[in-house]
Amino acid sequence: MSPRIGSADDARAVAEAARILRDGGIVAFPTETVYGLGANALSPEAVARIFEVKRRPSFDPLIVHVADVAAARRAVRSTDSRFDRLARAFWPGPLTLVLERHPDIPDLVTSGLSTVGVRVPAHPAALRLLSEAGVPVAAPSANPFGYVSPTTAAHVVDSLGDGVDFVLDGGPCQVGVESTIVSLETEPPTLLRPGGTPREAIEATLGGGLAERTPRGGSANAPDSPGQLESHYAPRTPLTLLPLGIAASVSSTNERVGALVFREAPVGPFCVVECLAPDGRDTTAAARLFAALRRLDAAGLDHIVAESCPETGLGRAIMDRLRRAATSGARG
């Protein structure tokens, strides 16, 4: 069965989605990055359904989405001048800021951590939904845990079916990779995950460099923010990440091999080729990345080889996703 679907351009559909969120249901909705699977962040029972539907382990914290800066302040205990500068520069937009959480945010949202990631998305439908719902919304990507993130409503329906109460269809996502995550609990702030806001732009706004994340002590299954697991964003077809110049790296084989390339289609033993950015722009590549991985995964291939891209701007986020996709196949 399929979930109910409404157009993000229909005020009645947005109102219905907002009502479902207030009543404890879960709604898939578009953001500028990927589609989110949202629940009322103040309701542990509603948030628990996200973990159930995604088959997501409870040790993996969620990002809280809000309609504006004022709502973001209510989700955290304290802020500082760095918060104000980054919020003015990048919100609404693909940047998540991690700060000490407000006591009203349940443990389940943060996996028991004392901090919470919060952001104001840039998609107009997401902002309308959050404003009308009137509650903070915890929302990971709307896909089975570990699998390729969804960038269209059809991806959500294909992956989660009627496990979702309502899908708000806002068309393809424009950024295509998840938000950048920065912790303001350190000095200097720490880049926890590269994403849709380039590191260079954040550092320019802060007037200084970001620290690199160091692995948290203890179990590998204890991430200190969303998007930290080594294997993630992965197709079920095995994927190998190769250096630039993919055609020269692959020899003839009896396997059905597909290629994911950055700029130019290679000549080689490939059944299917997905070219992310014929124009050479990292923004184009990021917007196409997850949809291309899904098409390759559905092509009946034995193996996928992916070409590396330069790690500047959004290229850093693209390479982060490809490295984790190459770690292993998707789980669940």
In CATH terms, the fold of domain 4-212 is DHBP synthase (3.90.870)
More confident of the two residues 146 and 179? 179
Domain edges within the chain: 4-212, 239-327
CATH 3.40.50.11030 fits 239-327, yes or no: yes
Whether the pLDDT of residue 329 is over 50: the answer is: no
Contacts of residue 10, defined as CB under 8 A and 6 or more positions apart, other chains included, come to: none
Q: What is the mean pLDDT of residues 12-36?
A: 98
Of 72-76, 175-179, 216-220, 293-297, minimum mean pLDDT range = 216-220
pLDDT at 221: 55
Omega of the bond leading into 188 within 30 degrees of 0 (cis): yes
pLDDT at 133: 98
Nearest-angstrom CA–CA distance, 100 and 103: 9
| Mean pLDDT of all residues belonging to the chain | 91
Whether the full predicted model's pTM is greater than 0.85, yes or no, is yes
Secondary structure of 149-207 as H, E, C letters: CCCCHHHHHHHHHHHCCEEEECCCCCCCCCCEEEECCCCCCEEEECCCCCHHHHHHHHC
Nearest alpha carbon to residue 166 among 17, 328, 325: 17
Residue 63: its H or E element? strand 63-65
Q: What is the mean pLDDT of residues 158-175?
A: 96
Nearest-angstrom CA–CA distance, 157 and 17: 16
Answer whether 128's CB lies under 8 Å from 13's CB. no
Whether the pLDDT of residue 90 is over 60: the answer is: yes
